[in-house]
Structure 1
Amino acid sequence: MRKTPFNKTKIPFLTCILAALLLLSAKRLSYTGKLYVTMFVMTIPLVLSIAARDEKAYPVLWFAIAVTGSAMALSLDALSIQYAEILGLNRFISRIVTVLSGRPGVYGPTYLSLDLMLLYTLVCLVIFTLSHQRNPGMLVTYFLIGTASYLTCLLIFAKTLGLDGLGYVPFVLCLAVCFSVLVGFYASSNSYYLVWNPAFRVKGLAGVVIALLLCVVGALPMAVGQIHKSVMFLAAPDVDFEPTSPHDFNDKFRPSFGWLPVYLEGTGYDVSWGEISSQDLSGVQIVVGINVRDNLNEDQQKTLEDFVYHGGSLLVLADHTFYPDESHPFDCVMVPAGIGVSFDSARSILEEGWGRGNLMFSRHPITTNIIDESQTQIGTGASLRVKLPGKPVVVATCGFADAADLMNCNSGYLGDLKYSPGERLGDLVVVAEGSFGRGKVLVFGDTSPFQNGALALSHDFLDNVFSWLSQRRASPSGWLPHFAFVACITASAILAWRATSKAAPRRTALGITILCSLIAAAIAGFILLEIPVSFCAPKKVRFQGATAVVDRSHSPSFSSELWGVRGIGGLYQNILRNQLLPVQMEQFDEEVLYRAETVFIIGAQQSYSSKEIDFLEKYAEDGGRLVIATGWEESRGTRNLAERFGFRVEPVPLGGFHAETTWGVLKFREGWPVSTSRQNAITLVSAWGRPVAVCRQVGQGRVTVVGDSMFLENMNLETLSEVNLANIEFLRSIAF
């Protein structure tokens, strides 16, 4: 077997590999952009080989591997292909794991690393088809070695660590190393031809153009349409739309949606309540059904089917262990759309919740600019059953389907909320979308993102959801993207074959044809994903009502976990009770701030610029209320801001203490003295003769500095089980 000699493309090739790794680690690019740009970068050494007329161009293989990985990821997402479910591989291999480990289990593709196995198989096939001296025996050998490596790793880790919990992580890493080594050995034992002639150049370019046109035709029906911003909520006795009350501290224990219609009206939607009837649905674009229990009669089913089929949008909000027979009143529309609701609870395997990176977001209009699971506020809900033409939108890679407890009817049939052997583990769909005629069906297995307490963090996500649903499609999409995808690959393969079959041996022509088909698949997947996202990008409409902004743009000290120890869910709940909408600001936005009644700055550790300080000063002078909670340890971020208003946090630790005040006994966790140089400053709270909370009038507004960055956090204000009434009353006096 002849090995590829060292050539001049090695240095630019290594440079491109490094550039590709850097691009893959970029945070601002979507995963589709990362894959596509990486594929483009890998064409550079390929072009250099072509320019040098290197007929045994080694870079063609690495370009082909980059294209194969990109095409696989983009195609599976664009076509909503759950390959493991379709082939039944995950259940088959789960049985193998059960036999090996002695513990029953049903695992998703991520836990079984089936994506790596699929990628390895495709790469081996690409190496075989592109190699100069094809050896079917070697292909079979490396495939069998890869399969043996997979089963060996599966045996070792299933027997020792087990795949439960996060035990699959070392299994995946070990498997990735094994496959990388095998691919390296297999690739280095072959040489590769690169055919590049005028005919191929012309027809290859024509193939790319045809691929683009076919995919655009397949994607446009999903993206083009008129916008109708009208929403109708279905009246349901179990759904609470009551407004929040200042003295109702039990509101966080019940699902309440009173602020959702208020928020929608404040962002330009016409909101109504009604039933499924032709009269109520007239002029409505989006129907929202929250925990719908009552079955529809035949007339209502026909009305709903007609509404969605002719372009209406249906938003279904379900919840955990809510439908014992796993049927939904809207199945007349959901089943044709490929979506069903399971009778279980989709839970995170991690005790602290889903955690960063646990939820996987498909490329979709509703996930645009959503990079963190905290922006969705998806919690414990039902897992969804999805089949074509349905599409998973949000998937819990490290979740498990907690079985319902039929004896626990008082708690809604909730199970033990702990993973038990035999429960489905990994790749649980928690948000899915489907098509029915020209209409859209979007199903959530959890209502949490739409509840009052979540709006502070989930409002951008909800903007995406309702913006996408408000767009009425011009024509049915259905299976059109799948047909366009197949037509794109077929056209590219035919043109590539005709261009190369006469200029090269048939075996070489076949390899180039397969490479062109992979390029077409990557292009098709990218376009089918990106066009709907680009055309349906939500136009940001600011909420026109009263708000209170919590600044998160300057590295605050509080946690993004809403009800965590250092979270600020209690603050958000109190903002709602005082009839303001809480808004968590991720980037400094003057328009958002200027509309706010109150602005909270909590333990900011990144300094404010002079321009930002000037704006906040003008904000206060025009009547805004600014509350700064900071200790001396975090004061580097707020020092310049506080000094502009005449305040300074002193480096004298007071620790945790209780202070007798007119509001009651206030609790401080890490107090620091606050000094001031202004005559009109008022000391609100002091300890050991030192002021720890000071305020002063600034123009028509007011600025308050509390020398404790933890004062507004849950443990000091309000948790799910405790309420500090004195601190809450003090908060009301300075902020509302």
Structure 2
Amino acid sequence: VVINLNNSFSEDEHRAIWGFVERGGSLLVLGDHTDIAGIMHPLNDLLSPVGIRFRFDSGLPVGERWVDCIEILNHPLGDGVENEYQIEISVGATLNVSGDAFPIIVGRYGFSDHGNYLNSEMANLGDYVNNPGEQLGDVVLAAGAFYGKGKVLVFGDTSSFQNLAIPYSYKLVHNVFTWLCSGDGKIVKYSKNIFSILALIVCLAVFLTYLKKEKKVAYLLTLALVLSVLTSAVVNPFLIEREHIGGEDVVYIDISHLERISIESYTSDATTGLMINLARNGYLPLMLNKFDREKISKSKILVLIAPTIPISRDEVYFLKNYMSNGGLIILSAGYQDKTPVSLLLNEFGFNIENIPLGPVPYVEENPEEHQNEPRFVDSWPITKGDGTTADSFYNIEIENKSYDLIMFTKYGLGGLIVIGDSQFLLDKNLESLYDYWPGNILFLKNIIDELKDRGVL
């Protein structure tokens, strides 16, 4: 793996790398836009044996982001990647592809913005405008090549592999390393191509021969041709093993129930700050796009933040079994979001009361005096029914009456934490790009430490 190389390898090192690839090894190269830090020429020197080159530009979408603008071509890297948010490419270089090299990820609706060495203070970036002479459409963002018995994969951007992208792009990253370690080499590629061409020629010849004589045969051959194309599209997943992500450090943040959170990083309603804090405490946060029970069963923590699709009774039974086996569920929901999670709350004897407590603590002046305390955005008290054994992890007293805002109940080897605030774990209240609340960061760490002491984590 080579990332943002800013000094060329020596001749001996270069020869050793390509000897490794030729004998069946794989080379993954990650670069960036506009020759930042002088990486373009060393990377292109490294890639000289194959037809892939970094361009002095940045690949930009025609819109604000790559949503609906990017595409993974028919390649194993695309297996299971359902949308652009699972690719996480941002601003990187586009690639020139020639010879036997082939594009894998393209900016279908993107353009090449030429760099400007006079703009060194802004990383040599251009003017973010598609000018005459700059490529518009189908810019190559990732490409591959075969060399000897080995494979080469090049990304013009490092974003997909960065810490804050992994929670979204982990499926793509898994596919990258699985394909690089697979037996899908040059011989396999050419064999598939030759077989496809021969099949197409045979079908076309038979089609033309029988077109006038027997229309039914022509129709059947047309159907067979369509089926062959569809078959070729489903071959790629067989070159990618099912991901084996799991363990005591995996945390899934659910978005399969259309939780009221943003998947745009570092926005006020995002969970970027939560991901950072989980990582600081030794966990690997990942977004859960589908309610995959096998994935959840292999994880340690499942986070639910104000789901809008109701959690079904069948899912509640599964989650009880998950907790019984040692899983921890963190549920963050206010009264206005109680209905979709009511079955889960009722199962454990919890209720979120219709008593709006608002922001806690409520401080109009000098909020920094309270910054080492937990802070809530829109809090509602939690109550427990008779016979429910639960501990209060945080409560406040208003007019001589105590209200529990965070409660925990142990179940089997795991347990359930209920937070009576749909926004408690969001960036606006925990940590964002330019702001953070120390009290919540410390409080989250203290909860994790407490549950470790209790043997839950």
- TM-score interval, normalised by the smaller of the two chains: 0.7 to 0.9
Q: Aligned pair in 2 of structure 1 residues 595, 354: CA closer, same or farther (>3 Å)?
A: same
Larger CA Rg, structure 1 vs 2? 1
> What is the 5 A alignment of 1:218-237?
none
Which structure exhibits the higher relative contact order, with contacts defined as CA atoms closer than 8 Å and separated by 6 or more residues?
A: 1
Alignment-derived partner of residue 418 in structure 2: 705
> What is the 5 A alignment of 1:536-685?
536-658=239-361, 664-677=372-385, 678=388, 680-682=390-392, 684-685=394-395
CA distance in structure 1 between the aligned counterparts of 2:211 and 2:62, rounded to whole angstroms: 52
Secondary structure at the residue paired with 1:379? coil
Cα offsets for 1:566-621 (capped at 9, x unmatched): 21111101110111111222233444334434321110122223343234334445
Post-superposition shift, 1:386?
A: 2.2
Cα offsets for 1:543-588 (capped at 9, x unmatched): 3352222122222111222323321111101110111111222233
Where in structure 2 are there 5+ consecutive unaligned residues?
364-368, 450-457
CA distance in structure 2 between the aligned counterparts of 1:306 and 1:297, rounded to whole angstroms: 14
1:695·1:702 contact (CA, 8 Å) conserved in 2? no
2:33·2:157 contact (CA, 8 Å) conserved in 1? yes
CA distance in structure 2 between the aligned counterparts of 1:563 and 1:662, rounded to whole angstroms: 24
Q: Does 1:366 align with 2:70?
A: no
> What is the 5 A alignment of 1:70-81?
none
1:438·1:477 contact (CA, 8 Å) conserved in 2? no
> What is the 5 A alignment of 1:98-117?
none
1:657·1:667 contact (CA, 8 Å) conserved in 2? yes
2:102·2:143 contact (CA, 8 Å) conserved in 1? yes
CA distance in structure 1 between the aligned counterparts of 2:354 and 2:98, rounded to whole angstroms: 61
TM-score by length of structure 1 reads 0.54
CA distance in structure 1 between the aligned counterparts of 2:445 and 2:208, rounded to whole angstroms: 74
Cα offsets for 1:63-115 (capped at 9, x unmatched): xxxxxxxxxxxxxxxxxxxxxxxxxxxxxxxxxxxxxxxxxxxxxxxxxxxxx
Alignment-derived partner of residue 315 in structure 1: 28
Q: Does 1:430 align with 2:141?
A: yes
Post-superposition shift, 1:315?
A: 1.0
CA distance in structure 2 between the aligned counterparts of 1:607 and 1:650, rounded to whole angstroms: 18
CA distance in structure 2 between the aligned counterparts of 1:680 and 1:662, rounded to whole angstroms: 27
CA distance in structure 2 between the aligned counterparts of 1:420 and 1:591, rounded to whole angstroms: 46
> What is the 5 A alignment of 1:306-455?
306-322=19-35, 327-329=40-42, 331=44, 334-335=47-48, 337-351=50-64, 353-355=65-67, 357-416=68-127, 418-422=128-132, 423-455=134-166
1:631·1:707 contact (CA, 8 Å) conserved in 2? yes
1:659·1:665 contact (CA, 8 Å) conserved in 2? no
Q: Aligned pair in 2 of structure 1 residues 673, 545: CA closer, same or farther (>3 Å)?
A: closer
Deviates more, 1:380-389 or 1:472-481: 472-481
Q: Aligned pair in 2 of structure 1 residues 667, 527: CA closer, same or farther (>3 Å)?
A: same
Q: Does 1:731 align with 2:444?
A: yes
CA distance in structure 1 between the aligned counterparts of 2:239 and 2:135, rounded to whole angstroms: 34
Cα offsets for 1:155-194 (capped at 9, x unmatched): xxxxxxxxxxxxxxxxxxxxxxxxxxxxxxxxxxxxxxxx
1:333·1:436 contact (CA, 8 Å) conserved in 2? no
Q: Aligned pair in 2 of structure 1 residues 323, 484: CA closer, same or farther (>3 Å)?
A: farther
Q: Aligned pair in 2 of structure 1 residues 666, 323: CA closer, same or farther (>3 Å)?
A: closer
Alignment-derived partner of residue 530 in structure 1: 234
TM-score by length of structure 2 reads 0.83
Secondary structure at the residue paired with 1:320? coil
Q: Aligned pair in 2 of structure 1 residues 428, 497: CA closer, same or farther (>3 Å)?
A: closer
Q: How many residues align?
A: 437
CA distance in structure 1 between the aligned counterparts of 2:318 and 2:191, rounded to whole angstroms: 51
Q: 1:717 aligns with which of 416, 427, 430?
A: 430
Secondary structure at the residue paired with 2:361? strand
Q: Aligned pair in 2 of structure 1 residues 559, 292: CA closer, same or farther (>3 Å)?
A: same
Residue type of the alignment partner of 1:710: Q
Answer 1 or 2: which has greater strand percent.
Answer: 2
CA distance in structure 1 between the aligned counterparts of 2:180 and 2:198, rounded to whole angstroms: 29
2:93·2:141 contact (CA, 8 Å) conserved in 1? yes
Secondary structure at the residue paired with 2:234? helix
Q: Does 1:488 align with 2:199?
A: yes
Q: Aligned pair in 2 of structure 1 residues 481, 340: CA closer, same or farther (>3 Å)?
A: farther
Where in structure 1 are there 5+ consecutive unaligned residues?
1-287
Q: Does 1:691 align with 2:403?
A: yes
Q: Aligned pair in 2 of structure 1 residues 471, 646: CA closer, same or farther (>3 Å)?
A: same
Alignment-derived partner of residue 174 in structure 2: 463
Cα offsets for 1:620-660 (capped at 9, x unmatched): 45554332111222211111212222221123334444358
Secondary structure at the residue paired with 1:460? helix
Answer 1 or 2: which has greater helix percent.
Answer: 1
Residue type of the alignment partner of 2:394: L
CA distance in structure 1 between the aligned counterparts of 2:360 and 2:85, rounded to whole angstroms: 32
Secondary structure at the residue paired with 1:458? helix
Q: Aligned pair in 2 of structure 1 residues 519, 292: CA closer, same or farther (>3 Å)?
A: farther
1:626·1:703 contact (CA, 8 Å) conserved in 2? yes
Residue type of the alignment partner of 1:686: I
2:62·2:109 contact (CA, 8 Å) conserved in 1? yes
State the Cα RMSD in Å: 3.3
Alignment-derived partner of residue 472 in structure 1: 183
Post-superposition shift, 1:683?
A: 5.5
| Percent of aligned pairs sharing the same letter | 29
Cα offsets for 1:390-418 (capped at 9, x unmatched): 222222233233332313434432345x3
Q: Aligned pair in 2 of structure 1 residues 692, 710: CA closer, same or farther (>3 Å)?
A: farther
Alignment-derived partner of residue 455 in structure 2: none
1:692·1:706 contact (CA, 8 Å) conserved in 2? no
Post-superposition shift, 1:499?
A: 4.7
